[in-house]
Amino acid sequence: MNPIQYVRSGAYRVGMGILTALRNRDFIEMGRGIEARYARCAEWWAPHLRYSRDFIRANGVPAKKVAVLGAGRLLDIDLSQILSSCQELHLFDADPTCRAAWRAVVADHPQVRIYPRIEDVTDVMQRWSSGLAGALRSNSLEKYLLALSAGVPSWSLEDFDLIISLNIAGQIPLYWRDRVAKAKGQLNDGEYRALYESMGRLQIAHIEGLWSSKARRTVAIFDTEYYIYESSRSEWEVEVALFGAAGELLKQGCAERALINRDSWLWHLAPQYIEHEDQGEIHRVEACAWS
C-alpha cells in the first residue's frame, strides 16, 4: 500500500465544513476508546503490556525527575520501581480524563511530587489546526501542509533524568490526520501527499526531542507497522506506522547513539470477531533504550 492509499485508508468519518476549535475532544475520544478497547481485549493485550512493563523496568535507571510522555491510563507501565527512587514524576497526556487514573498514583505515593500535565506533547497541534480554515478559504491546503514545521518540543528542554515515551510516536500523526480530514472532507492526491509528509514531521520532531534531551536515560516504545488480517486468508495487509523520513531517521539514530537495549514484539490490538467480524489488527512494536 503506497503512502497516499495509507493516509486515505484511515478509519475516520469525513465531515464537510471547517474544523471547529475543539482543543481536547479528539484526545478525550481516543483515550476513552483505548480504555473501552482494553476492556474488550484485555486477554489479547496482556502480552504487549507485560513486555512493555518489563522493558521499562529492565532499562530505566534510578532517577530523581522522571517524565512519562503519553501516560494515558498507565496500562503499559509499572511505576512502582520508578517511584521508589523518584522525587518528581511528570505525567504528560493531552486527554484530561487521564487524571482519574493518575489520582490513585498520587494517593499511593505521597512522598513523590507528582505533576499531572495535560499537554499536547507536539506543542504544535493547535497552531497547525488553527490555520486550516484560512488554507481552505484560499484553496491552498496542499501548500499550507507542505509549509508546516514542528520544532523541538518544550518538554525536551527540561532537566529530566529519565524520559519514557509510551507508544505515542505512532498515535501523534493520527490526530492530525483526522483533524485535516474533518476540516476538508475529500482530499486530492497532492493534498494527501502533503498530509503524509506533515504527519512524518510530527514524528521526526518527537524522535529528535527524545534524542536532544538532557536525560541520562530515554526509553521509547513505538509502533513500526500495522498488520491487517483475515482468519480465512494467509496474506496480511501491511501498513506503515512511521511516516515520511521518520522510519529511516529512527533507524539511523539508534545506530549512531549509545543504544542500551532494543526489543520488538507483536501486539494483538484488535482481534477479529471481538472488534470486527471481517478483520483483525496486529501491531509490530519496537522498544529502544539509550543514554
Instruction: Say if 201 falls within a structural domain.
Output: yes
Range of the domain at 250: 3-11+22-223+245-260
CA distances from 53 to 36, 90, 92, 161, 229 (A): 20, 18, 18, 19, 27
The Cα–Cα gap between 195 and 266 comes to 28
**pLDDT score of 255:** 64
Q: What is the distance between the alpha carbons of residues 237 and 36, in angstroms, rounded to a whole number?
A: 25
Backbone dihedral angles phi then psi of residue 174, each to the nearest 5 degrees: -70, -35
What confidence score (pLDDT) does residue 256 get?
A: 66
Give CA angle at 58 (53, 62), nearest 5°: 105
- Number of domains forming the structure of the chain: 1
To which residue does cell 484485555 refer?
42
Confidence at residue 10, expressed as pLDDT on a 0 to 100 scale: 43
Domain presence at residue 291: no
Distance CA 224, CA 236 (A): 15
pLDDT of residue 142: 96
**pLDDT in the model for residue 18:** 33
What does the angle CA 35 – CA 19 – CA 94 come to, to the nearest 5 degrees?
Answer: 35
Asked whether residue 285 is assigned to any structural domain, the reply reads no
Answer yes or no: is 120 within a domain. Answer: yes
Residue 149 lies in a domain: yes
Query: Rg of the Cα trace of the chain?
Result: 19
Residue 151 lies in a domain: yes
Which residues sit opposite 263 in a β-bridge?
A: 287
Instruction: Print burial letters for 134-170: b (CB count within 10 Å at least 16), e (below 16).
Output: ebbeeeebbebbbebebeebebbeeebbbbbbbbbbb
Task: Examine residue 279 and state whether it is found in any structural domain, yes or no.
Answer: no
Q: Does residue 49 lie within any of the structural domains?
A: yes
The pLDDT tens digits along the chain (291 residues) read: 444 443 444 433 333 233 333 467 888 888 888 888 888 999 999 999 999 999 999 998 889 999 999 999 999 998 888 888 899 999 999 999 999 889 888 778 888 999 999 999 999 999 999 999 999 999 999 999 999 999 899 999 999 999 999 999 999 999 999 999 999 989 999 999 999 999 999 999 999 999 889 899 999 999 999 999 998 888 999 999 998 888 888 777 666 667 889 999 999 999 999 888 899 999 999 999 998
Q: How far is CA 79 from CA 43, 105, 174, 206, 259, in A?
A: 22, 8, 27, 23, 23
Q: What is the CATH number of the domain that holds 155?
A: 3.40.50
The pLDDT assigned to 84 comes to 84
